Structure formats: structure tokens, C-alpha cells
């Protein structure tokens, strides 16, 4: 069984995920290195199309964000086989946007959700993902601590 969003659905999920991702990624319309050195542009967009000294317009950045969020949404619905509220789905979309769909699919979070654990248990797993590898060392990033706390609150429906 594939997961699905109950209630208002995908539109509501993306309406909740977009400001979260936009805030924590920030918008930089030119290529830059993220905190661990990955070439990035706009709202945290990475990939083969991110070339040195690339610049993008606001509308190009918005289109990249929209496309990346939709891909993250598809990944969430493939990896997480339970029904999700729009808040839960939005938190997982923000998470998958940041760490990648394969990481979500392999995570304890997805395993717990898929085996029927309570949302309080699997949503709390988001807070474990506050480290990144830079120069071969695992470092905790303050921005990820804040982002994961916000995603956890969104997942639990306790964000304001």
C-alpha cells in the first residue's frame, strides 16, 4: 500500500512545506557552496544543473523550488506507506528536500512509521538528523537543529 495524505491533501501539504523550506534554505540566486561544500542555488537546489557562477531570476528559483518540493512529495508518498496528515506530510517533505528521498527511505523514521508506531515516536526521529559531514568529520549544524525542531513541531501539529 502506498501512503496518502488525508484531509486537504497535496495542496495543503505543499502550502505548509513551502514556507518551511524557503525559510530554512534561504534564497540565493547565484551558485554558492552550502555548509558542507555542495554547489547550490536558489532555495537549496542542487544537482547537475548547478554550474559555477550560475545566476537565476526569482521566477526561476520559484520554479526550481516547486519542482524540487514535488519530487520530495513523490518520494515521501513512496517511502512512507501510512496515511499522513498534511502537517506530517509537510514535515517529511521538508526533511526529504533537505536530506534526500533515499535517506528518508532508509531511515528509522520511515521504518517506525511504516510499522505503525505512534506519530510522537516517528516524528521525534527528525531531531536525530542535525549532523552533516564536512571534510570527513561529522559536525552538528545549528541551522539543522532549528530546522529539525520546526519540522518535528509541524509533524506533531504543534507548530504555531
Containing structural domain, residue 81 = 4-156
- Tell me how many domains the chain contains: 1
The verdict on whether 34 is a catalytic residue reads: yes
The pLDDT of residue 7: 59
The pLDDT of residue 11: 87
Looking up residue 60, the CATH number of its domain turns out to be: 1.10.530.40
Catalytic residue among 34, 58, 60, 68: 34
- Residue found under cell 528509522: 108
The pLDDT of residue 45: 97
**Of residues 22, 47, 125, the one with CA closest to residue 80:** 125
The verdict on whether 68 is a catalytic residue reads: no
Are residues 31 and 39 in contact, defined by beta-carbon separation less than 8 angstroms?
A: yes
Tell me the C-alpha to C-alpha distance, in Å, between residue 67 and each of 18, 32, 76, 97, 141. 11, 20, 14, 11, 26
Helix (H, G, I), strand (E, B) or coil at 92: helix
Cell of 110: 520511515
**Of residues 62, 55, 33, the one with CA closest to residue 46:** 33
With a CB cutoff of 8 Å and minimum separation 6, the contacts of 68 are 43, 44, 45, 97
Helix (H, G, I), strand (E, B) or coil at 4: strand
Q: Going residue by residue through the chain, which has 160 residues, state the pLDDT in tens, using 9 for 90 and above.
A: 466 776 568 888 999 999 999 999 999 999 999 988 899 999 999 999 999 999 999 999 999 999 999 999 999 999 999 999 999 999 999 999 999 999 999 999 999 999 999 999 999 999 999 999 888 999 999 999 999 999 999 999 986 5
What DSSP element (H or E) covers 39? strand 39-42
- Angle (nearest 5°) at CA 23 between 149 and 52: 120
The pLDDT of residue 8: 65
Amino acid at each position: 500500500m502506498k501512503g496518502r495524505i488525508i484531509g486537504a491533501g497535496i495542496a495543503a501539504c505543499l502550502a505548509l512545506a513551502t514556507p518551511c523550506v524557503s525559510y530554512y534554505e534561504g534564497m540565493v540566486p547565484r551558485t554558492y557552496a552550502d555548509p558542507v561544500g555542495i554547489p547550490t542555488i536558489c532555495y537549496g537546489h542542487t544537482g547537475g544543473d548547478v554550474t559555477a557562477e550560475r545566476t537565476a531570476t526569482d521566477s526561476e528559483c520559484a520554479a526550481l523550488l516547486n519542482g524540487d518540493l514535488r519530487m520530495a512529495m513523490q518520494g515521501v508518498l513512496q517511502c512512507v506507506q501510512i496515511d499522513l496528515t498534511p502537517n506530517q506530510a509537510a514535515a517529511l517533505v521538508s526533511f526529504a528536500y533537505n536530506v534526500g528521498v533515499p535517506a528518508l527511505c532508509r531511515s528509522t523514521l520511515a521504518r517506525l512509521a511504516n510499522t505503525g508506531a505512534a506519530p510522537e515516536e516517528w516524528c521525534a526521529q527528525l531531531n536525530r538528523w542535525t549532523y552533516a559531514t564536512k571534510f570527513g568529520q561529522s559536525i552538528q549544524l545549528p541551522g539543522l537543529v532549528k530546522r529539525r525542531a520546526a519540522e518535528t513541531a509541524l509533524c506533531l501539529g504543534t507548530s504555531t
